[in-house]
Structure formats: C-alpha cells, structure tokens
C-alpha cells in the first residue's frame, strides 16, 4: 500500500480491478497522506473525509455487483472553483468563505456519476486570478519540489496535491494558462480542452469567454480517462458544444504515423531562460527520433496576447464579479449605514488586492469613452491571434514549445510587480484567446525543478494531442518522477 500514491490513475484502476485493494483502502491511504503532509503545502481548503469514505464504500459495492466503470472508486480532488452540493465552495476568497453550494457543477456531477471519490477541495488563487497561488485568502500554496517556491496558479492547490501524492488526480480551470502553467512548475500533465468541450455550468466564472475546465494528472492516459467522463454538451451552458465525445483513451493507441510539428519562433524569444530552451529542444528531438518532422512557424500576433488578455479577462471579470455585492450571497459587512456603505465595505473586505486590481481595470476598459480604444481593439487583436493559429495548423498537425519561460520561482519574487507576474503566462495565453486545446507534460529538470513542454492542437484535436503526449511518455519517465520528500 505504501506505493499507491506514486501510481498513476490508470495504474490504480488496474489495482482495483485485480482486487489488490479496495476503494475504501485507497481512499484512506490518500486521506492519511493529506493529514500527514498538507500542513507544509496548504494544497487543500476543505478535506471531505466523510463524503469520500461514503463514496468509496458505494464504489466497492458497485464493483462487487460487477457494475464498475473505468473510474469507479478512484479518488480525486476538485479545485475549489467547482460547486459541490452541500459543500463549501470558496474560490479562495473571503467573499465566499462561508458559501455552501446548493448544487453540483456539471464537472462534479459527471465525475460523481462515473464513480469517483472526492477527497476534498483544493486551494487556488482568489477567483482564479493569479499565476502563483499567492493571492488566495487561505494563504499561498507551496511547491512540493521546493517549498520556498510557488506551484504556479491559479490551479496551484490541485497541482501541489497531485505532485506530492496527496491525490492521484485533480480538476482545474484554465483561463490563461492556469492548468498548464502549474503543471509545468510541478512536473505534471495538465490538460486544457477546447473551449466548449467541457461544461462550465457550476464553475464560478472569472472570464466567461476564456474559462475552461480541465485536469491535472500524472500522465496523458490519466487525462484521457478523466476527459472521457467530463466532456460533452450541456443544455445549461450556452457555450457548451454539441459534438460527439470520442474514446480518448482508445485514441492513445492510434497516433498519426507521420507528425508534422510546428515550432513557433515566438516561443524561443529572449524571455525564455536558456536552460529551459535547451531542455525543451531535447524533448522536441525525442519526437524527431520517433519520426516526427519539425517545422518552424510564425505566429506574428502572438506577442500581443498578454496585453490583449489583460484587457479582455478583467473586462469579463468586472461583469461576472458584480454579483458579489453583500446582498444576495457572499461576504456581508457588519452594521452597514446604508446601501452604498453595504456595497463598498462588503466588496472592499471580501475581495483581495489582485481581484480589486482586475475589477478596476475591467471597469475602466468598458467605460464610456474607452470601450472602443481598449476592449473593442483587444477583441480585434484576439481575432488576429486566432487567425495566426489557424494558418499554422494548415501546415502542421501540432504546435510545441515551452510552457513557461522559467522553472518555479520563489514565493514573493513577483508579487510586487504584477506585470512580471503576468508575463509568466506569455506562452499559454494565446491558446485561451483562440479557444484551442493545449497540454503541458514534464520533459526534464533545471536545477532540480521540473520543466514543461506545451503541445497545442486545432479545435477538438484532443485525440491527437493526447496521443502525442502519451507516445512521448512511453519513451521517457519524467512524468513518473516525484519530489523526494513525498515519494
């Protein structure tokens, strides 16, 4: 049992199928890991022991009846941005510190129906606004590879939990890189599906045209397992796409015979740390050894993705977060003198500095006299970025490059300079603006810290994306490595 936390989700499923352990035993093992190690990581906001054990017992009964599916009895964690019935959902904010959701998010409901066990809700940057998991009201999350460094954000709690073996997999959300970036900094496989592939219903909104639910796992095979259960149309989400859900796990075994891989020149610019560039180039060489052809491509408008994103995303955030006013739900100040005082103090006390910064930015760019100059212009540039990707995919099957410009940086290193923090997502943001699927997989280490390789596919190209990642992971073992303190 001592090696369970080092296994993949697929490996644990095989153990359950062979009867080597029960779901209850598996769940107790991970709950014990959380109790022993989470104080040093702060990866969880809520641990749901009673719920988890009840689900595990139900899964074992299901298996005994011969009715188990691929995910039955497997423990996972959910980012605390997904509503879960009768469970606290905080979004890492004082504003929702005491909010208990009355319903399940679509992602939670679909995974519950597939038989998963929910260990708990993971820490995150407040309302998913951050790249380091330092903006959470519940304190920063620490990177298991080096506790003095960040795990990335905003899905940093999910990333730290999986990297340290406190959960075999976790859900996350990706608005500008918030799954792929923490995956890269913690040595995990982080999948952001095509926009609309997974329902956003019950996922607390940050930027509605960019947010997408996804997974943090050890392997591409694990990501395929979870995506098969999560994906699909949802009448409650108007952005959900009516498209057939393929068997993603089966697709792993049928990769293209001859891959043409585009390598964007923009991804290897002056901002990329040299040691990271060397590591990523070696990963690309492995694909060449497997028969792929590397082709340099241009994405001329991609350098504009960061300023474009930081107009579009705050604008949508200022609209979405206006519902948190201290009247209907959320934090309410004490003894307000009048309605204006209620609004001002409730929002002032409930929101943290980064959320306030983005609300103010978004309100400004949407205001009369500035809408055309900023928001409308940003949406026009967004279309140019999307067109760049479309032209690139006319010539190549996939795009590959670094996920982040550096390995994990130290806690506090960028909190005083928001612009430097924002630039950490420079290679990931364009994928969200274009609504494309992307994945980060571990491809090496620099000074003992993980480095991520980002793979991007055309819309609904998840089968090819996962197959390429899986083929690389069959030839390497970076995805199986764990931080020594948690092995």
CA gap 251, 427 in Å, rounded: 27
CA gap 188, 175 in Å, rounded: 18
Q: What is the pLDDT of residue 110?
A: 98
CA gap 468, 441 in Å, rounded: 10
- How many Cα atoms occupy the beta-carbon half-sphere of 398 within 13 Å? 28
Task: Specify whether 154 is catalytic.
Answer: yes
Task: Specify whether 377 is catalytic.
Answer: no
A 10 A CB-CB count for 139 gives: 12
Closest CA to 462 of 252, 181, 212: 252
Q: What is the pLDDT of residue 1?
A: 54
Name the catalytic one among 79, 121, 192, 414.
79
Instruction: Classify burial at 338, counting beta carbons within 10 Å of its beta carbon; exposed 0-12, middle 13-18, buried 19 or more.
Output: exposed
What's the pTM? 0.97
Task: Specify whether 79 is catalytic.
Answer: yes
pLDDT tens track, the chain, 487 positions: 558 999 999 999 999 999 999 999 999 999 999 999 999 999 999 999 999 999 999 999 999 999 999 999 999 999 999 999 999 999 999 999 999 999 999 999 999 999 999 999 999 999 999 999 999 999 999 999 999 999 999 999 999 999 999 999 999 999 999 999 999 999 999 999 999 999 999 999 999 999 999 999 999 999 999 999 999 999 999 999 999 999 999 999 887 778 999 999 999 988 899 999 999 999 999 999 999 999 999 999 999 999 999 999 999 999 999 999 999 889 999 999 999 999 999 999 999 999 999 999 999 999 988 999 999 999 999 999 999 999 999 999 999 999 999 999 999 999 888 888 988 899 999 999 999 999 999 999 999 999 999 999 999 999 999 999 999 999 999 999 999 999 9
3-state class (DSSP) for residue 118:
strand
**Which domains are seen in the chain, by residue range?**
4-261+395-486 (3.90.1300.10)
Q: What is the pLDDT of residue 367?
A: 92
CB 447 within 8 A of CB 407: yes
Name the catalytic one among 23, 131, 178, 318.
178
Name the catalytic one among 154, 155, 158, 219.
154
Q: What is the pLDDT of residue 419?
A: 83
CB 436 within 8 A of CB 379: no
A 10 A CB-CB count for 242 gives: 9
Q: What is the pLDDT of residue 2?
A: 58
């Amino acid at each position: 049992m001592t090696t369970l936390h080092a296994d993949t989700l697929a490996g644990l499923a095989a153990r359950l199928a062979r009867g080597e352990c029960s779901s209850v035993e598996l769940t107790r093992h991970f709950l014990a890991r959380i109790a022993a190690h989470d104080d040093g990581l702060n990866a969880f906001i809520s641990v749901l022991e009673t719920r988890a054990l009840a689900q595990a017992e139900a899964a074992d009964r299901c298996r005994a009846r011969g009715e188990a599916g691929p995910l039955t009895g497997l423990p996972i964690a959910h980012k605390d941005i997904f509503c879960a019935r009768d469970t606290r959902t905080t979004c890492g904010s004082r504003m929702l510190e005491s909010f208990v959701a009355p319903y399940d998010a679509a992602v939670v409901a679909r995974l519950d129906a597939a038989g998963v066990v929910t260990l708990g809700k993971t820490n995150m940057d407040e309302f998913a606004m951050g790249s380091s998991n330092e903006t959470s009201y519940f304190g920063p999350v620490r990177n298991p590879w080096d506790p003095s460094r960040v795990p990335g954000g905003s899905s940093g709690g999910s990333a730290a939990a999986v990297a340290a073996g406190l959960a075999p997999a976790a859900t996350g959300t990706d608005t500008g890189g918030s799954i792929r970036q923490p995956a890269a900094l913690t040595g995990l496989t982080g999948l952001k599906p095509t926009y609309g592939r997974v329902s956003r219903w019950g996922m607390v909104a940050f930027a509605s045209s960019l947010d997408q639910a996804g997974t943090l796992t050890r392997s591409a095979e694990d990501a395929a397992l979870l995506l098969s259960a999560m994906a699909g149309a949802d009448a409650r989400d108007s952005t959900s796409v009516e498209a057939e859900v393929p068997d993603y796990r089966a697709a792993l075994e049928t990769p293209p015979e001859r891959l043409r891989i585009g390598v964007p020149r923009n991804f290897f610019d002056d901002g990329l740390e040299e040691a990271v560039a060397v590591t990523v180039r070696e990963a690309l060489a492995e694909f060449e050894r497997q028969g792929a052809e590397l082709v340099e491509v241009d994405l001329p408008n991609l350098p504009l993705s960061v300023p474009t994103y930081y107009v579009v995303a705050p604008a949508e955030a200022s609209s979405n977060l206006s519902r948190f006013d201290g009247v209907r739900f959320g934090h309410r100040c004490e003894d307000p003198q009048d309605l204006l005082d209620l609004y001002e103090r409730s929002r002032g006390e409930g929101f943290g500095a980064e959320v306030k910064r983005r609300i103010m930015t978004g309100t400004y760019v949407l205001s009369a006299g500035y809408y055309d100059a900023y928001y409308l212009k940003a949406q026009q540039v967004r279309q140019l970025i999307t067109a760049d990707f479309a032209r690139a995919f006319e010539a190549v099957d996939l795009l590959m490059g670094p996920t982040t410009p550096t390995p994990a940086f130290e806690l506090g290193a960028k909190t005083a300079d928001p612009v430097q923090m924002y630039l950490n997502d420079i290679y990931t943001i364009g994928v969200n603006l274009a609504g494309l699927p992307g994945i980060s997989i571990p491809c090496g280490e620099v000074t003992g810290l993980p480095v991520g390789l980002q793979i991007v596919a055309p819309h609904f190209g998840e089968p090819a994306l996962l197959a390429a990642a899986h083929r690389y992971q069959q030839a390497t073992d970076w995805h199986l490595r764990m931080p020594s303190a948690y092995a």
